[in-house]
């Protein structure tokens, strides 16, 4: 396994869960944590520990967003009307890298970020290379013509481990995807349970 993949899957082992639901995850074989002391008995988590773990899990799921970026998204979520936890998920799902991943143009969240940074993606006909770009309902994301036949794109289209959710309308013939609506927590196909309310509690201590 490459260094990058090891670093990525360490999050899985740290959490003790296969957070992306991938068949390659080492958690499927080794359910204990990484490192020298990974097999030690774990004590009961405090409330703070439970909240911190919920935050690290969600941050890790979205390709390990930096703490600064994640906190800025949380602040925006609290300023919006309605439930802050639901708003947080809605904002994360509006990110361009998330939509590229959900549309099955690439196989992982980390690959989505790189794919965008390398200029393979257009939004409403214009090239966008910022993975945190925020989409609005009705926006059309497209793989640029020169990249439509790339092996990573065609392989990702065929992935059987996950489906395109119903808040995105993807056409793999044209390699386009329309972001239909901002989803609720219940609409998002997480492989494990996410608890945004614990993240709101963590930051509002």
pLDDT, tens digit (0-9, with 9 covering 90-100), for 69-115 = 999 999 999 999 999 999 999 999 999 999 999 999 999 888 999 99
Res 7 pLDDT > 80 = no
In CATH terms, the superfamily for domain 3-36+44-92+190-203 is: Ribosomal protein S4/S9, N-terminal domain (1.10.1050.10)
Return the closest-CA partner of residue 193 out of 1, 17, 3. Answer: 17
Rounded CA gap, 166 and 164, in Å? 7
Residues of the chain with CATH 1.10.1050.10: 3-36+44-92+190-203
Sheet of 126-127: strand order equals: 126-127, 121-123, 140-143, 176-179, 168-171
In Å, how far are 11, 45, 105 from 95, measured between CA atoms? 21, 31, 15
Res 203 pLDDT > 90 = yes
Q: Which two tokens stand for residue 63?
A: 């390709």
pLDDT averaged over every residue in the chain: 85
Rounded CA gap, 150 and 31, in Å? 35
Q: What is the pLDDT of residues 9-53, one digit of tens each?
A: 566 555 556 555 555 555 445 555 556 655 566 667 788 888 988
What one-character-per-residue DSSP string does 65-118 give? --HHHHHHHHHHHHHSSS-HHHHHHHHHHTBHHHHHHHTTSSSSHHHHHHHHHT
Res 141 pLDDT > 50 = yes
What does pTM read for this prediction?
Answer: 0.83
Residues of the chain with CATH 3.10.290.10: 95-181
Domain 95-181, what architecture? Roll (3.10)
């Amino acid at each position: 396994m490459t260094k990058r993949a090891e670093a990525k899957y360490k999050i899985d082992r740290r959490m003790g869960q296969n957070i992306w639901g991938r068949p390659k995850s080492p958690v499927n074989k080794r359910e204990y944590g990484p490192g020298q002391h990974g097999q030690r008995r774990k004590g009961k988590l405090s409330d703070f520990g439970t909240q911190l773990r919920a935050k690290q899990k969600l941050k890790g799921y979205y390709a390990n967003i930096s703490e600064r970026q994640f906190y800025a998204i949380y602040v925006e979520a609290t300023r919006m009307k309605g439930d802050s936890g639901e708003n947080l998920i809605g904002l994360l799902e509006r990110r361009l890298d998330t939509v590229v991943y959900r549309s099955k143009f690439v196989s992982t969240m980390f690959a989505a970020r790189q794919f965008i940074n390398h200029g393979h993606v257009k939004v409403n006909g214009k090239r966008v290379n910022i993975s945190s770009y925020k989409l609005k309902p009705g926006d059309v994301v497209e793989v640029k013509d020169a990249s439509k036949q790339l092996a990573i794109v065609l392989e990702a289209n065929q992935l059987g481990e996950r489906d395109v959710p119903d808040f995105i309308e993807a056409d793999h013939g044209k390699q386009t995807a329309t972001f239909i609506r901002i989803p609720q927590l219940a609409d998002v196909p997480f492989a494990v349970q996410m608890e945004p309310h614990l993240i709101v509690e963590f930051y509002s201590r």
